[in-house]
Amino acid sequence: MASNFLSISTEALFRYQLVSVIRTLLLAGVGRSEAIGQVAAMQHCDQSLRRRHPSPRTLRRWLKAFESGGLQALEPEPRPRIEASLVLKPKLLDYLVLEKESDEKASVPELLRRARALGLIAPDETIDRTSVWRALRRLAVPTTRLGRLAQADMRRFAYPQRMMMVLSDGKHFRAGVDRLKRVALTFLDDASRYGLHTVVGTSENPPLFLEGLHAVIRRHGLMSALFLDRGPGFIADDTHAVTARLGIALIHGTRRYPEGHGKIERFNQTQLAQLLRGLDRNPEVDPDPAALTLRLGHWLDTTYNRTPHEGIGLLTPEQRWAHDPRPLQFPESSDWLDGRFLLTFSRTASKDNIVSYEGVAYELPIGHAGRKVTLVRPVRQPDVLFLLEDNRLIRLHPVDLVANAYARRGPGPGGTPPTSAAPVMTSASLHFDAAFEPLVDPAGNYAGGSTEPNPVPQEDSHE
């Protein structure tokens, strides 16, 4: 398993999202230069909700790097971290930070005008406001307020063939006599409106979405692109990482604009009217997510997919799907597919080398006490846990307290001292050697030395 599949930086995932948008435009028949220009004109935000404006030249470089080197080529080059600024004077920067913290609505140009009025900036001195903005960001000083963009690109789209674009969204509902909260994630093919799969869970989260995505790929093959909203299960790093490992372009719709993905929203309305509204307070409905997944999947396959649809010329989604000439692209093997569906998260090990995951204590190798470690769990194996160490996966097992009570304790992180190591010469040993002469010489012969410390010399007797 390649190391880049296990650790993908946030910056590489952001670059992959923009490359995904360009790829989907190319897939729809847009020219390369025009597609790059459209993406450069859009407004983009990274995972920290910071606005990003990459230039067409930068986007072209990212696209070319991805086409030649894949996901690993999108990783940024390491460079030394600048804590504050190399170009701004410390006195000026301290003033800007204090002023911005006291007046958070003040813009960077306004802060510079105030500093110039106070004489902190010389009349003929030029200060780049971008340098000020970057310095404030490094010092964790808020610089902007993210609002909704009135001129956002909200045009409709349609792809001509199946599995070029797959839509997914979650629909919350209640089921059973106790009205338990449930959410249904449905995957819908954009071209044919064919319902690919539905999975039900208790909340919208990355494991639930990835479980449904795994089932779709296993049953129908890989899609070229995914279009999602900004739900909690869709914007998570694990979702971005898995789609990047699969080579699937991931697109997020505009925030608080359901019309941007109207096809899946219209499907949700149909599902609510024909199925979900009959599950609330129904004593005959099992609210278990697995039972609901079976029930919703049956309706999807036998009713929705076989009902004529106005959006595709009164053909049924099943007919439109079956007559599409585009071949399906299945994974090369189950191991290849499972190796890309991995969840990663961090934990801090206890002093006895234990980490806890979902209420189960797992034992780490000796030497990790108090350290922050990265754990990896396959999506399809919730009871399997690995430790990521030097780009290697080490299988972890639950703690066996009874076995530990009888197990012989091993050496610490330093290991067993080598037998050939020289003994430590303490001050007590030095004093002892000085007080007593050795009984044997270096060759091992008896030297006839004294056994008394500080022996008293005997006087010669004369008769």
Condensed to tens digits (0 to 9), the pLDDT of residues 160-200 reads 899 999 999 999 999 999 999 999 999 999 999 999 999 99
SS3 content of the chain, % helix, strand, coil (to 5): 40, 15, 45
Fill in the amino acid letter for 172: H
Looking at domain 341-406, which of 2.40.128, 2.40.50, 2.30.30, 3.30.2420 is its CATH number? 2.40.50
Report how far residue 135's alpha carbon sits from residue 102's, in angstroms, rounded to the nearest whole number.
Answer: 17
- In this prediction, residue 50 carries a pLDDT of 79
Please give the angle made by the CA atoms of 78, 340 and 349, to the nearest 5 degrees.
65
Q: Is the model's pLDDT at 278 over the cut of 90?
A: yes
What is the torsional sign of CA 365, 367, 370, 373? negative
Local confidence band at 221 (pLDDT 50, 70, 90 cut-offs): very high
pLDDT in tens, 373-391: 888 888 878 788 998 888 7
Of 34-48, 136-150, 162-176, 426-440, where does the model show the most confidence?
A: 162-176
Which CATH code, of 3.40.50.700, 2.30.40.10, 3.40.50.720, 3.30.420.10, is assigned to 155-333?
A: 3.30.420.10
Query: Measured between alpha carbons, how far is 285 from 320 in angstroms, rounded to an integer?
Result: 32
pLDDT, tens digit (0-9, with 9 covering 90-100), for 328-350: 999 999 989 988 898 888 889 89
pLDDT tens across 28-87, in order?
889 999 999 999 998 888 777 778 889 999 999 999 999 998 888 898 887 666 667 778
Closest to 17 in 3D by CA, of 234, 337, 328: 234
**How far apart (Å, rounded) are the C-alpha atoms in residues 397 and 378?**
15
Cβ–Cβ < 8 Å for 379, 342: yes
Closest CA relative to residue 336, chosen from 249, 245, 250: 245
Within 10 A of 325 (CB to CB), how many other CB atoms are there?
A: 6
Domain ranges of the chain: 1-84, 98-138, 155-333, 341-406
Task: State in Å, rounded, how far the first CA of the chain is from the last one.
Answer: 97
Indicate the length of the chain as a whole number.
463
pTM: 0.63
| Band (226; pLDDT cuts 50, 70, 90) | very high
What is the arrangement of strands in the sheet containing 392-398, beginning at the earlier edge strand?
342-348, 372-378, 385-389, 392-398, 360-363, 354-357
**Distance between CA atoms of residues 22 and 16, nearest Å:** 10
Reported confidence tier of residue 303, pLDDT bands at 50, 70, 90: very high
DSSP-assigned beta bridge partners for residue 180:
175
Q: Is the pLDDT of residue 107 over 60?
A: yes
